[in-house]
Homo-oligomer: A and B are copies of this chain.
Amino acid sequence: MRIVLDAMGGDHAPGEILKGAVDAVTTFWPNLKILAVGNAQLLEETARQLSLDLRNIEIINATQVIDMCDEPAKAIRQKKDSSMVVALRILAEGKADAMVSAGSTGALHVGTSLLVRTVPGVKRPALATVIPGKSPFLLLDCGANVECRPAMLEAFGVMGSVYMQQVMGIQSPRVALVNNGAEESKGTPTYVQAHQLLKANPHLNFVGNLEPRDIPEGLADVVVADGFTGNVILKLTEGLARYFGGKLKGLFTQGLLGNLAYLLVKRGVSDFKKGMDADEYGGAPFLGAARPVIKAHGSAKARAIHQAIGQAIRCVEQDLCGMMAEQLSRQEEEA
């Protein structure tokens, strides 16, 4: 198994990225080889400083880096020797089985579409994210496709379902469509039609519309929305978690009594934080890509990179992309 890693992407690159790679190699020894792409001199120097053992890690030189402020499409086209583009090429050429990057989400999406391509029937991959709540669920699309036809929403349901089954081990994942009411007639014409397509698909465990106020309640394993709405759900959840977290902190920093109260419920607060920590659930897969591409969080440290590599391995072992292509072609034949 060969995983190609963008060693220069993310806030803590390259040190934490390399550390995560070394941890993953140790975990999966001797079956995992990692191709770490980046400034070779810097990577080797970093490994020396951190006393990292680079066995089963091959360093591949790339002279450029795509920054968070680079315009995605332009960066992919112009920074041809960037760690991300070189890694995407290695994946596209079949020299690796899957890819992990903590770099720019936009650039990784464009690069995946252009270089790695998609499975038949998918125009652009969907960005899927596991969101914490009463039980964690996969939300897609989180922003890659802002306008969606009904058949795309159905495809999101299929792709999310295959992912949760194959990679997360959930039997018969419950698939729901975000909508502003439980009734079939609710929502825009696109959502009304998508509801019918999802309902009629015999390979899905479709549980119907999911009202936004019930999203945190853990009523579905896969939550389907167009990229505009999905982005609102993902980012508003992050924003409100931050807002409520700040309020919670405020409770415990009001003088001596607050500090004392904090000591008394410290473990509960830490569990709460852990429950809201996206790193617990690895990275975000680009579903519909021809080969597995996992986007780790920009703030990912070694542990999150280790998790994302494990996730990429499961995608390969379970032939995620092949299963997805099969399910989607079946959907097209039946339509």
Q: Which residue of B lies closest to A232 (CB)?
A: B212
A228 adjacent to B146 (CB under 8 Å): no
Is A233 interfacial (CB 8 A cutoff)? yes
Q: Mask for A118-142, Cβ within 8 A of B = 1, else 0?
A: 0000000000000001100000000
Q: CA of A141 to CA of B68 in the docked complex: distance in angstroms?
A: 33
Interface residue A143 (Cβ < 8 Å from any Cβ of B):
yes
0/1 interface trace, chain A 234-269, chain B, CB 8 Å (1 if under): 111111111110011011101001101110110011
Contact among B216, B233, B242, B258 for A232, CB-based, below 8 A: B233
A21 within 8 A of B: no
Closest chain B CB from A244 CB (angstroms): 4
What's the Cα separation between A268 and B255 when bound, in Å? Answer: 11
Listed residue (A134, A217, A264, A272) with the most chain B CB atoms within 10 angstroms of its CB: A264
- Say yes or no: A236 contacts B233, CB within 8 Å: yes
Q: Which residues of B have CB within 8 Å of A178? A: 232
Q: Is A193 an interface residue (CB 8 A)?
A: no
A166 at the interface (CB under 8 A from B): no
Name the distance in Å between A213's Cβ and chain B's nearest Cβ: 4
Question: A104 contacts the other chain (Cβ, under 8 Å)?
Answer: no
Query: CB distance A265 to B272 under 8 Å?
Result: no
* Residues 202-240 (chain A) with a chain B CB within 8 angstroms: 211-217, 227-229, 231-240
Given known pairs A146-B188, A180-B231, A187-B146, the reply for A239 and B215 (CB within 8 Å) is yes
Q: Say whether A147 faces chain B, with CB atoms less than 8 Å apart.
A: yes
Q: Which residues of A contact B (CB under 8 A)?
A: 133-134, 143, 146-147, 178, 180, 187-189, 191, 211-217, 227-229, 231-244, 247-248, 250-252, 254, 257-258, 260-262, 264-265, 268-269, 272, 275
Task: Pick 9 A–B contacts, CB within 8 A, sort by A.
Answer: A133-B243, A147-B189, A214-B239, A217-B239, A247-B275, A251-B268, A258-B265, A261-B261, A261-B262
